Amino acid sequence: GQSLEQPSEVTAVEGAIVQINCTYQTSGFYGLSWYQQHDGGAPTFLSYNALDGLEETGRFSSFLSRSDSYGYLLLQELQMKDSASYFCAVYRTDKLIFGTGTRLQVFP
């Protein structure tokens, strides 16, 4: 089977650092992606890890460890606009299988 588990909600204050974890039970995938979705909006791509290790894109970083079946999204210097839902997804053949999603609330 395939399942990706994420915490349902995370809260933090502006300027802080937050880590959103994703644990999965699947195999044979090309990589792990992260998508951001604001309330009422569509998912938008944030990052992708094809290999184990850390990928950095500005304030956001993503990490993958295939041996641990684990990944995370790290958001630094949090801003109010980062309040949104974040989804991890494994990329298999031509399709994405999405995790349960984590709602991030950033407070002033």
Partner 1 sequence: DARVTQTPRHKVTEMGQEVTMRCQPILGHNTVFWYRQTMMQGLELLAYFRNRAPLDDSGMPKDRFSAEMPDATLATLKIQPSEPRDSAVYFCASGPSVIGADTQYFGPGTRLTVL
Which parts of this chain interact with partner 1 (CB under 8 A)? 30-33, 41-45, 48, 50, 87, 91, 94-101
Beta-strand ranges (E) seen in the chain are 3-5, 9-13, 18-25, 31-37, 44-49, 53-57, 60-65, 70-75, 84-92, 95-98, 102-107
Q: Which is nearer to partner 1, 14 or 45 (CB)?
A: 45
What is the nearest approach in angstroms of partner 1 to the Cβ of residue 11?
A: 19
Q: Which is nearer to partner 1, 15 or 30 (CB)?
A: 30
Residue bearing tokens 């195999």: 27
Residue bearing tokens 């031509």: 94
Q: How many residues does the chain have?
A: 108
| CA gap 55, 47 in Å, rounded | 8
What is the nearest approach in angstroms of partner 1 to the Cβ of residue 84?
A: 14
Instruction: Give the tokens for residue 1.
Output: 């089977």
What is the nearest approach in angstroms of partner 1 to the Cβ of residue 14?
A: 27
What is the nearest approach in angstroms of partner 1 to the Cβ of residue 67?
A: 20
Q: Which is nearer to partner 1, 15 or 57 (CB)?
A: 57
Q: Which is nearer to partner 1, 17 or 45 (CB)?
A: 45
